[in-house]
Structure 1
Amino acid sequence: MKLTKTMWLICLVAVLVLAAGNSQAFAYTVNGHAECTMSGWVPYGAVVKVFEIDPLPGGSYAINSPALATATVNESGNFTLTFTWPSGGGFEIGGPDIIFVFTQNTNGSAEAIYEENASGTHWNVASAATISLNVASPLAVCSNPAVTPGSVPNNKLFLFTRIGNHETANIDSKGSVVTSQGYHRPRKAPYSFTGANTDQPYGSALHMFGWFGSQSQIAYYKVQYSADGGITWADIETSLPNKWYSTSDPNPLNWHWVSESMGPVSYGGINNLYRVPYFVRPNTPWSWFDRVAIFNSTLVTDGLTRFRIAAYKQSGTTLIPATSSDIIIDPNYGEIVLQIDNTPPTVKILDMKLNGVSKSVCQILNFGTGISDKISVNFRAYDQRGHLQDYALNAIYGHNASVSPKPTAPSKAEDNYNNNAGGSPLWQGGFGYITDYKGNTYTPAIMSDCAYQFRLTASKRTTNGYGLIYHAVEDTWHVTIDRP
């Protein structure tokens, strides 16, 4: 406790007696515990600074700068400050008069979350004392040491969240599970999706999204992929454009979008680095707030591909790998697997026969109405990788008219994966289907005289996260049908 000039005269004798014991500086320790408004939740990672308060004439006070000491709140909410006391030489009686200031990295910038002023001074604090503080600021990012990292979104957690519009929650993608198959909307338990648009692999350009907790202490990251089960890894090198919204002009009508690339860049001899938008410009609108990479999936062979991040933090003028105290990689979705399939399906009408005789395109087919009269179409709707979604052969004529119902024998003119899923995510379709339009079934009332387009379409289940990349691939065959 510092003494005013008036008190100095009164205490002069006492000071002279105690001078030998109190003029020597020594190490002083103050312990603290900080909690947020919810019991058990603490401002983990907050930076604590302690300042000395000096009395001024007239009963006012001044904050003595710089800070006596700086510490960091640990995961239990505790911190320890050690400094030399007396701080500036001279004579002191009792302990220091101090206040605390907390700052915390919130969305990439240091925000004050707890500030004491002179009216909140802790007077004559004893060495090794423990002071409890309550942090009520809405800017404080708090965590609970009793809660697992996966349930605390505002900490140092990283995880992949989406591929395009597909949530990783709906992808069999957990990198920690050796049986993960990398399909979107998997039919297998516990997902148990149904329908033709299930067990979808991925292909083409994949927009990958992820969550970086606001307390992540990283400067750059890279996204890596492995097509051999994690034995070897390569960096994603695709450009990652972005835009942020500038509101710096005094006239709001002049506010505008500004382009800024998130990478890849090179720094300190490390290539293919990316930046997190809300760490680069916190509290700023971004077009792509959480897109972490764009992956050209044609760079790998079809099959399972693993993805992970490598994070880096600043150390002076160099980058070093981040540790678990800087960022927590989620055990489920911090590394993911995706089933890649860029092989197109084969969709082709192979032959058309009238009563067993092949007919080329543009011919006239004299199609009778007897039981032995038939038009046979031989076609192929086949996917080598086993990811066919559906196919359909349509006989189209006139003005947007088509023959209905479609034939079902000897092969179906229309089928889908939902009808053929049998405990495996694979359905190839057929290499040589034959379907018959029989004259006594497809009478002139159903299949009249006209020019016809036989259109075969097939879709594959491969998606880029927004839609199918092989949707309604088609082949056509044109003839004219003449009925008696």
Structure 2
Amino acid sequence: MKPLQCTLKPNRMAAIIGVTAALAGGLWGVSARADVEVARRWAGTAPVIDGVASPGEWDSATATTIAEGGTTFAQMRTMNDGTYLYVLLDVFYETVNNPLESAGTNGDFFALYIDKDLNHAVTPNVDFFYSGCQDGRVFVKAIELSQYSSTGCTPVAPGSLGTNGFGPSLNSSTPHRIWEFRLSLSELGVDTSTWTTSSGIVPKIRMNVAIESINPAFYIAQPDPNTSPDMSLMYQIDLATFPSFPPGTTGPIFAGVGLVPANYIDSAGYANINISGYYYATNAPFGANLNIFGNWNTLRFAYGAARYQVLYSKNGGPFTYLDQTWTNFKWNGLTWVPNAIGPDAVNSYPIPEPWELWYLPNLLISWQTAASFGDGTYVLKLQLLNSGGFPLSSPPGNSLTLFVDNTPPTLMINNAFYDGTAICDCGIVTPGPCVTVNPLRFHGFTFEITVNDLHGALGSYALGYTYDNNVSGGIFSDSYVPSHVNADGPEQWDGVTNSTVPFPPFCAPAPCAYTFILSASSRVQNGYGLVFPYVNYDKSLTILTAAASASINCSGTDVIPSENGSPRGKDDIKGATQSQ
């Protein structure tokens, strides 16, 4: 701990800090790191702050492992409602009921450092930390005067509360040290009045945690291990702005797919989400590899599951086991270790222990839909198993519908025309003047195109050109949003067939060899981005310097555009020239 002024508890951890510093040398050798993000959870029922981790009281909170040097010392659990942030420090490594720190007595100790203005630095007279006081008060705060100094003990805000206890918890039946806190959001610098107009911006709190035990002797601070943190690295605790699951449950069974929460997936299995800076999808099917998330703690603690099976039904058919193998990374205290996850002999997957730290927490299955699954509507559900392998009853909300589409759009430039006359493959065109003949007729190039999507998932298409050294431009484009939403049925836009574009016709900006590029994208996505962002079809033509009359050369045969669009041969050149 930092040297604290007045009646706050002093730094008397020299020996322990020496050991911790040796451990931290390898683990915390990098000076610049991003904050450790802690997922948001709404507290459906506020925990009682009495030092007793009662059964079910903290089950729905987000669990964060506090470990160092290969040893797991504690677990932090966090959740919030519209008034308070609730924090549990479950120090299951400390199984001796030590006294608390007081004047003249060494004892157990905690500190919660708060970067109130979220500026990643110590701001004097703004930032503060919660701790205990040498006068015997268990829960007070001190205002930061600098990184290495602070005021003495000051009262916390009305409503904020902290206490300790010693007993069992959801992580261990062996009695151990427990700290429980209820922290006023307004004291933490959170303005809840902005939550209804935040437009997808997640409110957050930045906090560093320190825990000390005298027996067994250890001191640990995370994510910044320094005894006087500079607040450049902290836990970023995201705050829930509303309940994300029905009252009476402890979390969703299916949380979502990738970055798309389950409540942004409609009943037909399409994603609809539009949050600036986060993710965008409109009536979007799913495809390719899908990371499907749930809630491990809900399955384990609310429903008593130790393992689970994933089953699917396609297009209303019978349910079948969904057997997949994927890789997730587990923290061993020093580094991330890849772990192959797959089904056992009864098609089930394990639920990790609550103190384990995984790179992709709550990942139920990584589904490679393109491997051997056809397009269609899939309904997923879980079969929960207890530690003995016996089936458990189905929990509420045990269903996720996804429309899976792994078919890309098909597209073609059927033909190119000059003044209505078809241009042969690799044609050489001498265009006429690019002028208006009358209000209904222009000289120039048009293209007959076809862009189709088998399942109506077309997102957009565009026709453009390139010539010379990376010179390019656009000719025509169209998109599902806003022009064709539900144009061919619910969530459907099939595309166009034999459509002639553009009008007015295209005039080449310079004589050169041109490649005309028809490109299309699909709305199919995997929860992180588009699966088919760019499918293209190319057609090449040579366009010469404009002349008084137009001609098209096809392997030595000139074709002259006529007024009605039908081709003429060389014998008609004179008449055609005059008609231009």
Same fold (TM over 0.5): yes
**Aligned mates of 2:271, 2:56 — CA distance in 1:** 37
Alpha-carbon distance, 1:288 to partner: 2.0
> Shift in Å at residue 283 of structure 1?
2.2
Q: How does 1:115-194 map to 2 (within 5 A)?
A: 150-151=246-247, 155=250, 157-172=251-266, 180-185=267-272
1:221 aligns with 2:283: no
Task: Pick the aligned partner of 1:310 from 372, 383, 401.
Answer: 383
Mapped pair 1:273 → 2:348: yes
Q: Which residue identity lines up with residue 388 of structure 1 in the other structure?
A: L
Matched letter for residue 206 of structure 1: L
Taking a change above 3 Å as real, the CA distance of residues 38 and 357 of structure 1, as seen in their structure-2 partners, is: same
CA distance in 2, matches of 1:322, 1:104: 24
Residue number in structure 2 paired with 1:414? 477
Helix, strand or coil at the partner of 1:344: coil
Change (3 A) 1:314 1:396: same
Match of residue 54 from structure 2? 43
Map 1:322-337 onto structure 2 (within 5 A): 322-323=392-393, 329-331=395-397, 334-337=398-401
State yes or no: 1:366 paired with 2:430.
yes
Contact map agreement 1:184 1:201 (CA 8 A) in 2: yes
Aligned to 1:23: none
1:386 aligns with: 456
Kindly tell me: are residues 437 and 45 of structure 1, through their superposed partners in 2, closer, same or farther at Cα, counting changes over 3 Å? closer
Say yes or no: does 1:296 pair with 2:368: yes
Select 1:239's aligned residue among 320, 325, 338. 325
Q: Which moved more, 1:211-220 or 1:286-295?
A: 211-220
> What's the offset of the Cα at 1:400?
3.1
For the residues of structure 2 that align with 1:475 and 1:204, how far apart are their CA atoms? 22
Q: CA deviation at 1:38?
A: 5.4
Structure of larger gyration radius? 1
In structure 2, what is the Cα distance between the partners aligned to 1:451 and 1:149?
59
Q: Secondary structure at the match of 1:338?
A: strand
**Using the alignment, how far apart are the partners of 1:149 and 1:112 within structure 2?**
32
Q: Which residue of 1 aligns with 2:493?
A: 427
Aligned residue identity for 1:421: V
1:338 to 402, 406, 422: 402
Secondary structure in structure 1 of the residue aligned to 2:386: strand
Between the two structures, name the one with larger relative contact order (CA 8 Å, sep ≥ 6): 1
Q: How many residues align?
A: 314
Q: Deviations over 1:218-241 (max 9, x none)?
A: 221111111133x51111111132
- Shift in Å at residue 414 of structure 1? 1.0
In the alignment, the residues of structure 1 paired with residue 283 and residue 264 of structure 2 have an alpha-carbon distance, to the nearest angstrom, of 10
- Change in Cα spacing, 1:463 to 1:272, as seen in structure 2 (3 Å) is same
> What is residue 342 of structure 2 aligned with on the other side?
263
Secondary structure of 1:425's partner?
A: coil
Instruction: Tell me the SS of whatever aligns to 1:314.
Output: coil
User: SS at 1:169's partner residue?
Assistant: helix
Q: 1:110 to 1:227 in 2, by over 3 A?
A: farther
Question: Could you say which residue in structure 1 is the equivalent of 2:512?
Answer: 450
Cα displacement string for residues 130-178 of structure 1 (whole angstroms, at most 9, x for unaligned residues): xxxxxxxx9xxxxxxxx9983467x4x5511121222212211xxxxxx
Give the Cα–Cα distance (whole angstroms) in 2 for the partners of residues 184 and 148 of structure 1.
Answer: 17
Partner residue in 1 for 2:24: none
Counterpart residue number, 2:355: 283
DSSP 3-state at the match of 1:105: coil
Name the residue aligned to 1:86: none
Q: Quick one: which of 535, 539, 544 aligns to 1:477?
A: 539
Q: One-letter code of the match for 1:311?
A: L
* Displacement after TM superposition at 1:258 (Å): 2.8
Find the residue that maps to 2:312 and give its secondary structure.
strand
For structure 1, list consecutive stretches of 5 or more residues without a partner in the other structure.
1-34, 47-99, 116-137, 139-146, 173-179, 248-254, 407-412
**How much has 1:262 moved relative to structure 2?**
3.1
User: Contact 1:105 / 1:111 at 8 angstroms: preserved in 2?
Assistant: no
Measured in 1, the distance between the counterparts of 2:47 and 2:450 equals 66
